[in-house]
């Protein structure tokens, strides 16, 4: 089986674009990725499209209507916040299987403002605020409190994650925000769901990211190896049965399992990874995943953020893009935008926020309910 | 006033969720299922075990009305019309079963709420009616009396 290579990748600057449409956002990103690869839609054999909000509305085909209806097969993917990464993985598998040798993967989302989650509806009375909370901030607050219960992690340590990621995004022109948020600002912001304040919740934004991936033979044939990035591992898991996970979604076990499988597939360990883009949908979540991804011991996660180990310039920089907390979190685009960030560092093209000498990078997303996708990427010498 | 299970007035009330059972005689309770193959306890009725996949041998049982606070969050921002703050709590019931609900009769203050603290399940008329005007019986958690 051929290795799979990223040969063109890009994202739009995340923001709020209510005047445009999901297919137009996707088309913009697709053109950016094709331009990065020096190719056209006529070179592409299949499209894997990730979008959550319009999952029933053939977004991939509507993107092709904007950029060229070449008649290629289209697969539309929805997998909560793992949607973009799932579309990427479907494309990766098609090349691994030898069905195609060059495909396009696009992730898009157009979001409103405000709280996600809650659900309910149907018969009877609404149970939000009566039988606890099903909002995303509350669910991830409770997941963070589990870490506090086990390891003593503090509100201040959770808040420091947000200080770090907002700082990182000041170096990323494609992030939604480029604003420093000192610790007292983060801790003093409106409390949404203790211990997550407003500045510890990811930003709902519109966004799109796209990538062209191909086989090794194709990359060599096209002369694209000099900026190519090798996909060393692609893993997708769901959450196995856990004692509480039917009442309290478990984002830990599926991540631990995916990380173990990804390290095995890539033939590397956590000590080999130079940067990580992980699913910081809330500041509490980032802390959980230091341990889950093997970046440190779970009980050391609070200390790692205290001592700057996961900041740019630290032992293992995490979310140097600004993360979902400050770059923004357009659900279906996030999983490909993370791959863009890591690829940009491996290509040595990340400018002011470049992780020097980056050779291996990891991306991680969680779709609540739950899906975990992890990719390990390698610089090509 | 919140009531203990045996004191609840339930006449004419509908259950807020299917796993809250209101027997014709006796006290309301939360219903669970236990897998006789692997001994796992679930909240609510089930016909297949999510742990071992067994399709037979799931038996209904009444879950305990006391347990331990596992984790919580204090919710300050919710959807329009929902009174805040409130404490969203995950409780492990004694003998099995994990339930989410509001923890009441305690200050919404991290200094006061202790993970691991014992709590009781109590039953009370819900402060909401449905579109047809039906009233509901709900459950809450409160610190163990």
Q: pLDDT of A224-269, one tens digit each? A: 999 999 999 999 999 999 989 888 999 999 999 999 999 999 999 9
Name every chain B residue with its beta carbon within 8 A of the beta carbon of A242: none
3-state secondary structure of A222: coil
* The pLDDT of residue B16: 96
Considering A166, A289, A329, A375, which one is annotated as catalytic? A329
Q: How far is CA B119 from the centre of its chain?
A: 11
Q: Which residues, at least 6 apart from A100, have a Cβ–Cβ distance to it below 8 Å?
A: A45, A46, A94
CATH 3.40.47.10 fits A4-113+203-379, yes or no: yes
Given a cut of 50, is residue B1 above it in pLDDT?
Answer: no
Nearest to A327 by CA among A163, A173, A187: A173
Mean pLDDT of chain A: 96
Neighbour-count burial of A68, counting CB atoms closer than 10 A to its CB (0-12 exposed, 13-18 middle, 19+ buried): middle
Which of A116-120, A346-350, A370-374, B109-113 has the least mean pLDDT? A116-120
Sheet of A102-109: strands edge to edge? A74-77, A47-50, A102-109, A207-215, A4-11, A229-238, A371-379, A360-367, A275-277
pLDDT in tens, A260-307: 999 999 999 999 999 999 999 999 999 999 999 999 999 999 999 999
Show the beta-strand stretches assigned E in chain A.
4-11, 47-50, 74-77, 102-109, 191-194, 196-197, 207-215, 229-238, 275-277, 360-367, 371-379
Subunit contact A135:B99, Cβ cutoff 8 A: no
Cβ within 8 Å of A, B 63-92:
70-79, 82-84, 86, 88-90, 92
The shortest CB-CB distance from B82 to any of A124, A128, A155 is to A128
Let me know: does A358 contact A236? Beta carbons within 8 Å.
Answer: no
Q: What is the largest CA-CA distance in chain A?
A: 62
Confidence band of A115 (pLDDT split at 50, 70, 90) = confident
Counts for chain B of helices (H) and strands (E), in that order = 0, 10
Subunit contact B71:A128, Cβ cutoff 8 A: no
The encoded tokens of residue A262 equal 């990804």
The reply to whether ipTM tops 0.90 is yes
| Alpha-carbon gap: A54 to the closest alpha carbon of chain B (Å) | 23
Let me know: does B13 contact B22? Beta carbons within 8 Å.
Answer: yes
* The pLDDT of residue B145: 86
Subunit contact A132:B102, Cβ cutoff 8 A: yes
* The pLDDT of residue A76: 98
pTM for this structure? 0.95
Given a cut of 50, is residue A166 above it in pLDDT?
Answer: yes
The shortest CB-CB distance from A131 to any of B84, B100, B130 is to B100
Task: Please give the Cα distance from A363 to A318 (Å, whole number).
Answer: 10
DSSP A56: T
B110 close to A (CB below 8 A)? yes
């Amino acid at each position: 089986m051929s290795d799979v290579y990223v040969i063109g990748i890009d994202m739009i600057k995340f923001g709020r674009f209510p005047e445009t449409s999901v297919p137009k956002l996707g088309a913009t990103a697709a053109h950016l990725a094709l331009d990065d690869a020096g190719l056209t839609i006529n070179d592409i054999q299949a499209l894997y499209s990730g979008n959550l909000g319009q999952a029933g509305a053939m977004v991939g085909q509507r993107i092709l209507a904007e950029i060229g209806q070449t008649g290629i097969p289209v697969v539309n993917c929805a997998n909560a916040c793992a949607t973009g990464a799932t579309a990427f993985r479907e494309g990766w598998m098609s090349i691994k299987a030898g069905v195609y040798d060059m495909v396009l993967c696009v992730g898009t989302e157009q979001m409103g403002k405000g709280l996600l989650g809650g659900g309910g509806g149907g018969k009877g009375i609404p149970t939000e605020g009566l039988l606890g909370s099903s909002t995303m901030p509350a669910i991830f607050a409770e997941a963070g409190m589990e870490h506090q219960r086990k390891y003593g992690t503090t509100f201040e340590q959770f808040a420091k994650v947000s200080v770090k990621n907002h700082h990182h995004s000041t170096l990323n022109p494609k992030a939604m925000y480029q604003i420093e948020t000192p610790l007292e600002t983060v801790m003093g912001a409106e409390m949404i769901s203790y211990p997550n304040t407003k500045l510890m919740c990811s930003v709902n934004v519109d966004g799109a990211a796209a990538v062209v991936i191909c086989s090794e033979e194709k990359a060599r044939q096209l002369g694209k190896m000099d900026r190519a990035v090798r996909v060393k591992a692609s893993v997708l898991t769901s959450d196995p049965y856990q004692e509480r996970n039917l009442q309290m979604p478990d984002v830990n076990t599926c991540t631990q399992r995916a990380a173990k499988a990804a390290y095995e597939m890539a033939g590397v360990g956590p000590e080999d990874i130079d940067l990580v883009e992980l699913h910081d949908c809330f500041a509490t979540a980032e802390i959980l995943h230091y341990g889950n991804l093997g970046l440190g011991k779970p009980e050391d996660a609070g200390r790692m953020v205290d001592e700057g180990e996961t900041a740019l310039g630290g032992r293992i920089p995490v979310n140097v893009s600004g993360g979902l907390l400050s770059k923004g979190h357009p659900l279906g685009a996030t999983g490909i935008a993370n791959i863009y960030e890591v690829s940009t560092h491996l290509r040595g093209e990340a400018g002011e926020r470049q992780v020097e000498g980056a050779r291996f990078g990891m991306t991680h997303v969680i779709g609540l309910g739950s899906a975990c996708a992890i990719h390990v990427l390698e610089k090509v010498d | 006033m919140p009531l203990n299970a045996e004191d609840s007035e339930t006449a004419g009330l509908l259950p807020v969720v299917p796993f809250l059972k209101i027997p014709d005689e006796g006290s309301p309770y939360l219903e669970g299922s236990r897998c006789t193959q692997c001994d796992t306890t679930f909240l609510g009725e089930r016909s297949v075990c999510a742990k071992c996949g067994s399709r037979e041998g799931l038996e209904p049982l009444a879950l305990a009305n006391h347990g331990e606070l596992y984790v919580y969050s204090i919710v300050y921002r919710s959807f329009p019309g929902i009174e805040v703050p409130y404490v969203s709590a995950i409780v492990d019931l004694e003998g099995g079963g994990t339930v989410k609900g509001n923890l009441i009769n305690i200050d919404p203050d991290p200094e006061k709420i202790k993970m691991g603290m014992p709590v009781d399940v109590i039953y009370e008329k819900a402060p909401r009616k449905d579109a047809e005007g039906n009233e509901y019986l709900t459950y809450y958690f409160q610190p163990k009396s």
